[in-house]
């Protein structure tokens, strides 16, 4: 059907309207999408803005942290230009950051840097730089970091000012050097002073000895003995001060060698016996039979400790006495020094080992001394690997104990107890002598009975079949003689115990019935020989034959000594001992005298004008080597006791040394060959 124009127009308008409506719908939909996308983009922009803000804040915080560091922090590009420097770096450089950035600035160096590469690629370098405030030492830590420009690494250096540390180290080194120099100066001063004091002291003591040997009135003899006693006290004080100074300086070395343990302990007791007997008290040594005869250690230092402890005990003991013991304690040797003296107050036990401290103090104290003996003993024991302690009660005596590792020498084992023997009666009122003898006898297998009363001892002698009766002269001469007579009547062998001062009583005791005697403090070897009946005569304490009156007879000795008084003492003592003496007043004279004739020994002073002792000894050794002569013993005479002086003696070719002042026993021991010691029974 035909369509009119109006309908056609309507149709067209409708179509256009429909198309427009569709397009509008599409446009609206697209508009909505665009609006949502814009909103999302705006949200992302805001988020990114927040992130940028946070990053800037973090960067500012990091920059503030870096700028606030006391360490220097600087970053450089691959070409060495500064990309960042913190405030500490800028302050030390004396320039603002803006002026430093992009430059090749570096500090002027006073010395090349020392470098050290560490784990993780970090390089450590230390360098001295010049600044406006003076020279500073900086320790840098260098490491590679990622730079601000992608792909461009940078070098970050963190520097710490170590100037104060280095100055402190330098000051400490200077202080150490100064202290060592002061120690050397002190040692040299002490050596010089010691030599200058000991040299005249040798003359004083030597002359006192010679004077005592002459015909004197009782008063003169008393005065001469007082001179000697005072000199010995002064000498002991000097030795204590020297020992303490060496310990304080850390220069105390040990000289470990094999030695006979029992002999050392008994020697110490014998040395102190005159002092103990003069006070009317006893001293004894007791060494366990299961200890090795020969052990390895520093015999000199051990003896010094025992002498210090036992000498101290004698000083503070008025009745009874002192006993020095040695027993086995596991793998060690345990020593004790027990006394029946005044004891130590509890509040003093913690301080007596301090230097210059004494159990008794104040202006009213009864006992003298420096208070160094125990301090020295403690440090010596600790140096030898032990610890010293004390047990004491006021009025009940004291016991000092320490233990040391003294291994048997040359694989030697303990001798052990003997097979035993007949019963022994120990008759002694002493709380020291009886226990000491009992310990020695029981340890060697002898059954022992002790009697502390003379009447009870007499009853036992008559009633019991003892093989040996040990009768102590301390009961009194008449009581001991009566006990000897009772023993003789009962068929018992009686052995008298006497001190050296009681030797004149032996004739009376022998007449009463004593078959032998022992000198107190009694040595184990002599004791066992007596109770075993192997000493039928009346022997001395350790020698079956009396000591010769001229033990150096036949020896020709060259004496090199520039001090006239000491030379007179040495010549007189040597002459009394039977030696022929040629005196040289200095080292050159000694060398010339040696070239003219042969001597059996040389006594060489260390310090002499012109040519000293070591120089003279070297000259004599050179002459012997050149002429093919036998080596003559050269012994140094020295007033110094330092190890350096002893080393110098040996380095010069000397064989031994003798410390001044010395006495006749020292000379005999040095110059007369000694037979090897016999083993204890």
DSSP annotation string for 534-584: ---S---SS-SSPPPS-TTTT-EEEEE---HHHHHHHHHHHHHTT-EEEEE
pLDDT at 589 over 90: yes
Distance from the first to the final alpha carbon of the chain: 164
Name residues whose C-beta falls within 8 Å of residue 379's C-beta, 6 or more positions apart in sequence. Answer: 247, 252
Q: How many CB atoms lie within 10 A of CB 24?
A: 10
Which stretch of 139-153, 497-511, 534-548, 575-589 has the lowest confidence by average pLDDT? Answer: 534-548
Q: What confidence tens digit (pLDDT) does each residue in 468-499 have?
A: 999 999 999 999 999 999 999 888 899 999 98
Q: Is the CB of residue 195 less than 8 Å from the CB of residue 639?
A: yes
Cis, peptide link before residue 661, omega less than 30° from 0? yes
Q: Is the CB of residue 501 less than 8 Å from the CB of residue 492?
A: no
**CA-CA distances (angstroms) from residue 30 to 24, 33, 34, 35?**
10, 5, 6, 8
Residue 409 is given by DSSP the state: G
Higher pLDDT, 578 or 672: 578
- pLDDT confidence of residue 545: 41
- pLDDT confidence of residue 680: 38
Q: Sign of the C-alpha dihedral, residues 585, 590, 593, 597?
A: positive
Nearest Cα residue to 286 out of 344, 331, 333 = 333
d(CA 151, CA 402) in angstroms, rounded, equals 75
Single pTM value for the model: 0.58
Cis, peptide link before residue 109, omega less than 30° from 0? no
Sheet-wide strand order for 332-339: 282-287, 321-329, 332-339, 398-404, 388-392
Tokens of 423: 């019963």
Given pLDDT bands bounded at 50, 70 and 90, which one contains residue 564?
A: confident
Q: Is the CB of residue 284 less than 8 Å from the CB of residue 269?
A: yes
Q: How many CB atoms lie within 10 A of CB 42?
A: 10
Given pLDDT bands bounded at 50, 70 and 90, which one contains residue 79?
A: confident
362 Rama class: left (phi>0) / alpha (psi -120 to 50) / beta: left
**CA-CA distances (angstroms) from residue 394 to 10, 344, 347, 514?**
143, 5, 11, 40
d(CA 446, CA 681) in angstroms, rounded, equals 12
Which stretch of 371-375, 419-423, 508-512 has the lowest confidence by average pLDDT? Answer: 419-423
Interval 87-102 mean pLDDT: 89
Q: Is the CB of residue 468 less than 8 Å from the CB of residue 493?
A: yes
Interval 365-390 mean pLDDT: 76
- pLDDT confidence of residue 256: 85
Give the strand pairing for 398-404 and 332-339: antiparallel
- pLDDT confidence of residue 333: 94
Facing residues of 285 across strands?
Answer: 324
d(CA 194, CA 540) in angstroms, rounded, equals 38
Name residues whose C-beta falls within 8 Å of residue 658's C-beta, 6 or more positions apart in sequence. Answer: 603, 635, 636, 637, 638, 666, 667, 670
- pLDDT confidence of residue 50: 65
| Residue keyed to tokens 């105390």 | 252
């Amino acid at each position: 059907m035909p369509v009119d124009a109006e309908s056609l127009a309507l149709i067209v308008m409708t179509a256009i309207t429909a198309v427009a409506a569709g397009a509008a719908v599409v446009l609206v939909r697209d508009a909505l999408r665009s609006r949502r996308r814009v909103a999302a983009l705006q949200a992302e922009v805001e988020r990114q803005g927040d992130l940028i803000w946070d990053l800037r804040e973090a960067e500012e915080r990091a920059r503030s942290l870096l700028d606030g560091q006391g360490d220097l922090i600087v970053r450089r590009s691959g070409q060495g230009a500064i990309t960042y420097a913190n405030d500490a770096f800028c302050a030390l450089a004396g320039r603002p950051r803006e002026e430093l950035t992009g430059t090749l600035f570096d500090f002027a160096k006073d010395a090349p840097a020392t470098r050290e590469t560490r784990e993780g690629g970090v390089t450590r370098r230390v360098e001295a730089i010049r600044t406006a405030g003076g020279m500073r030492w900086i320790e840098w830590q260098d490491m590679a970091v990622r730079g601000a420009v992608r792909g461009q690494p940078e070098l970050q250096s963190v520097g710490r000012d170590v100037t104060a540390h280095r100055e402190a180290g330098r000051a400490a080194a200077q202080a150490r050097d100064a202290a060592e120099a002061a120690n050397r100066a002190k040692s040299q001063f002490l050596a010089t002073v010691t030599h200058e004091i000991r040299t005249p002291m040798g003359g004083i003591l030597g002359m006192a000895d010679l004077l005592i040997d002459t015909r004197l009135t009782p008063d003169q003899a008393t005065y001469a003995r007082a001179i000697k006693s005072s000199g010995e006290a002064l000498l002991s004080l000097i030795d204590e001060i020297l020992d303490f100074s060496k310990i304080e300086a850390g220069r105390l070395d040990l000289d470990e060698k094999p030695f006979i343990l029992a002999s050392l302990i008994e020697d110490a007791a014998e040395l102190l016996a005159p002092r103990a007997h003069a006070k009317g008290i006893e001293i004894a040594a007791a060494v366990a039979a299961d200890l090795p005869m020969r052990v390895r250690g520093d015999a000199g230092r051990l003896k010094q400790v025992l002498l210090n402890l036992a000498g101290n005990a004698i000083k503070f003991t008025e009745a009874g006495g002192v006993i020095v013991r040695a027993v086995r304690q596991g793998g060690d040797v345990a020593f004790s020094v027990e006394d029946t003296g005044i004891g130590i107050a509890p509040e003093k036990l913690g301080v007596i080992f301090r230097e210059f401290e004494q159990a008794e103090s104040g202006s009213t104290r009864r006992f003298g001394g420096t208070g160094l003996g125990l301090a020295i003993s403690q440090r010596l024991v600790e140096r030898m690997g032990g610890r010293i302690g004390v047990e004491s009660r006021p009025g009940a005596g004291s016991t000092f104990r320490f233990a040391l590792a003294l291994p048997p020498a040359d694989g030697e084992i303990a001798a052990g107890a003997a097979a035993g023997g007949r019963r022994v009666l120990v008759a002694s009122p002493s709380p020291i002598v009886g226990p000491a003898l009992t310990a020695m006898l029981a340890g060697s297998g002898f059954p022992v009975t002790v009697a502390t009363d003379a009447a009870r001892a007499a009853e036992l002698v008559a009633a019991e079949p003892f093989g040996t009766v040990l009768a102590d002269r301390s009961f009194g001469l008449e009581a001991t003689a009566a006990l000897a007579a009772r023993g003789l009547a009962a068929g018992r062998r009686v052995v008298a115990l006497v001190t050296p001062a009681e030797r004149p009583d032996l004739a009376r005791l022998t007449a009463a019935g004593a078959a032998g005697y022992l000198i107190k403090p009694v040595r184990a070897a002599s004791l066992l020989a007596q109770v075993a009946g192997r000493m039928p005569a009346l022997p001395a304490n350790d020698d079956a034959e009396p000591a010769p009156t001229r033990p150096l007879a036949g020896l020709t000795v060259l004496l090199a000594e520039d001090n006239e008084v000491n030379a007179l003492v040495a010549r007189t003592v040597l002459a009394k001992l039977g030696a022929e003496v040629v005196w040289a007043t200095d080292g050159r004279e000694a060398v010339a005298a040696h070239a003219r004739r042969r001597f059996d020994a040389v006594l060489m002073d260390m310090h002499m004008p012109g040519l000293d002792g070591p120089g003279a000894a070297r000259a004599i050794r050179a002459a012997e080597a050149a002429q093919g002569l036998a080596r003559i013993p050269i012994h140094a005479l020295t007033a110094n006791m330092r190890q350096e002086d002893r080393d110098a003696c040996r380095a010069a070719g000397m064989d031994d040394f003798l410390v001044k002042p010395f006495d006749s026993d020292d000379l005999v021991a040095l110059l007369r060959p000694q037979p090897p010691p016999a083993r204890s029974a």
